[in-house]
Amino acid sequence: MAGSEVRDDIKKIVYEFLADECEVDIAAITDTTNVIDDLEGDSLLYIEMLQLIKKKYTLNVSMQAVGKYMLQNRAETVGKVIDLMIYVIENQEKLI
Amino acid sequence: MNKTESVSELPELHGVLFPGCGVTFTGYENAFLQKSGYFIEELFNRASACSSFKKPESLRNAGDECDELQNQLLTYCYSCAISDSIRQRYTTIPWCTFYSMGIYAALYHTGVYTFESGLKLIETAYRTVMKAKGSVSYALATIIGLERTVIEKHIVYAGGLLDIINENNSLSFVVCGECTTVTKLVQAVTDDGAMKTVVLPLSAPYHAVKDQTKLEPLRLCCDEVIVHVPDSTVVSCVNQTIMDTVERIKNTVIENVALPINWRKTFEYLLVNGGHTFFECGPGESLYKAGKFIDGKFTITGCKKYSAFLT
């Protein structure tokens, strides 16, 4: 799958997931939407999204590695979440 | 209400799950009860008349600001009220289990004792545990996003009095120990990649009472109030056995206060034995959230989603 296709795929997953979990209209979500402040989400959502991505792309990465990466690279907006997911797919266990 | 007419319109339920104390109320608990035509104020009055329970100033903010024991009593009241509403709608729901202090509402739900007896057990358990802990200050914390082995390594390193007292799922654990040691552990696991840590507003060292002889007052209270066997199958969250005799129920009440529990194993036991549609019978949605990281095909419906069926 080409890079742009992966991004489109991840964007679709993230948008649909957040709209469903946070019970908001998908049209109201943009890349600048803040997951915690605007969608009233919590850190469980990040874990759920990561589990979804791990299953879909059969990734070899621990939640601990992602958690450590996120200490330095916070993903507060939807756009940043998408970037995070792509970085995880590309680097897997080597992301830290 | 006509049970036969209503059952066909409602979702099938294989099991009822009772949450523990310290949950966050969603606000849908009151909506559910109102749609059910249930007046929880009457239950509050009964609770106030026989225990130290204080009625919340308003239903809207119920659970927001109250101490540990009050929160536990309030959670019990709501769980019993929701149980009453659900039992009106179903002839039988075969399975029942509980998370931690949800045991008291689960025993009410299954007809083991009266509402008032449950309040008495809760107060006795709380006061007995607080006395048993002596002068040690305890804290409980939830750690999310790390595997058990990683947390265990940090526990060894932190030293002191510290135990994993519950496994919610493969990525969520509850620890209990001396305040300073818990604080140290929380910082260490955060630095090591835990996605979320929450120090719980609790100080009673439930599931971590080393000396069970100190629980004698609770044992005596159990002897007084537990006289019936459950009218459905109740699974212990301590050891995943079925509480089918009065003696087993009494032992489980003691064990549930003294020993670690395992929610993941308990829920998996229900899944293996035929349950896959569950109702979270109490305030909040903590069990729905814990279930998100347990493998299997199942649904957990709480007050929020179930309210849609009540028109």
Q: Cα distance from B150 to chain A (closest Cα, Å)? A: 9
Q: Cα distance from B131 to chain A (closest Cα, Å)? A: 36
Mutate to test the interface with B, among A43, A48, A51 (most CBs of B within 10 A): A43
Q: Shortest CB distance from A43 goes to which of B191, B193, B196?
A: B196
- Residues written for chain A: 96
How many domains does chain A divide into?
Answer: 1
Which residue type sits at B168? N
Query: What's the CA gap between A77 and A37, in Å, rounded?
Result: 9
Q: Which domain holds residue A45?
A: 3-95
Query: What's the CA gap between B107 and B109, in Å, rounded?
Result: 5
pLDDT over 50 (residue A93): yes
What pLDDT is attached to residue B60? 67
**Cβ–Cβ below 8 Å for A44 and B289:** yes
Q: Cα distance from A44 to chain B (closest Cα, Å)? A: 8
Q: Could you write out the DSSP letters of every residue in B204-266?
A: S-TT--S-GGGGHHHHHHHHHH--S--SSEEE-TTT--B--SHHHHHHHHHHHHHS-B-HHHH
What pLDDT is attached to residue B7? 40
Q: Cα distance from A41 to chain B (closest Cα, Å)? A: 13
Instruction: Answer whether B16's CB lies under 8 Å from B96's CB.
Output: yes
**Cβ–Cβ below 8 Å for B195 and A71:** no
List of residues 6+ apart from A78 with CB closer than 8 A: A14, A15, A18, A29, A30, A31, A32, A33, A35
Paired residues of B17 in beta bridges: B97, B280
Cβ-based interface (< 8 Å): residues of A facing B: 42-44, 46-48, 51, 62-68, 70-71
Mutate to test the interface with A, among B144, B190, B295 (most CBs of A within 10 A): B144
State the DSSP H helix or E strand holding residue B282, giving kind and residue range, or none if neither: none
Q: Shortest CB distance from A64 goes to which of B146, B196, B292?
A: B146
**Cβ–Cβ below 8 Å for B192 and A65:** no
Return the SS3 of A24.
Answer: coil
Q: φ, ψ for residue B278 (rounded to 5)?
A: -125, 155
Instruction: For chain B, 311 residues long, give each residue's pLDDT as a single digit of tens.
Output: 443 334 447 889 999 999 998 888 888 999 999 999 999 999 999 999 999 999 988 766 666 667 899 999 999 999 999 999 999 999 899 999 999 999 999 999 999 999 999 999 999 999 999 999 989 999 999 999 999 999 999 999 998 789 999 999 999 999 999 999 999 999 999 999 999 999 998 889 999 998 899 999 999 999 999 999 999 999 999 999 999 999 999 999 999 999 999 999 999 999 999 889 999 999 999 999 999 989 999 999 999 988 888 87
Query: What's the CA gap between A96 and B208, in Å, rounded?
Result: 36
Closest chain A residue to the Cα of B170, Cα to Cα: A63
**Cβ–Cβ below 8 Å for B193 and A63:** yes
**Cβ–Cβ below 8 Å for B193 and A71:** yes
Mutate to test the interface with A, among B24, B195, B304 (most CBs of A within 10 A): B195
The size of the A-B interface in CB pairs under 8 A is: 46
- B307-311 long-range CB contacts below 8 Å, 24 or more apart? B307/B28, B307/B31, B307/B32, B307/B35, B309/B9, B309/B10, B309/B11, B310/B32, B310/B35, B310/B36, B311/B35
What pLDDT is attached to residue B3? 39
Q: Cα distance from A9 to chain B (closest Cα, Å)? A: 22
What pLDDT is attached to residue B65? 61
Q: Cα distance from B291 to chain A (closest Cα, Å)? A: 11
**Residue A83 banded pLDDT, cuts 50, 70, 90:** very high
**Cβ–Cβ below 8 Å for B193 and A43:** no
Which residue type sits at B206? Y
**Residue A95 banded pLDDT, cuts 50, 70, 90:** confident
The CATH number of the domain holding residue A88 is 1.10.1200.10
Which residue type sits at B151? I
ipTM of this complex prediction, to 2 decimal places: 0.87
Give the tens place of pLDDT for each residue, A50-73. Answer: 999 999 999 999 999 999 999 999
Closest chain A residue to the Cα of B195, Cα to Cα: A67
pLDDT over 60 (residue A16): yes
What pLDDT is attached to residue B2? 40
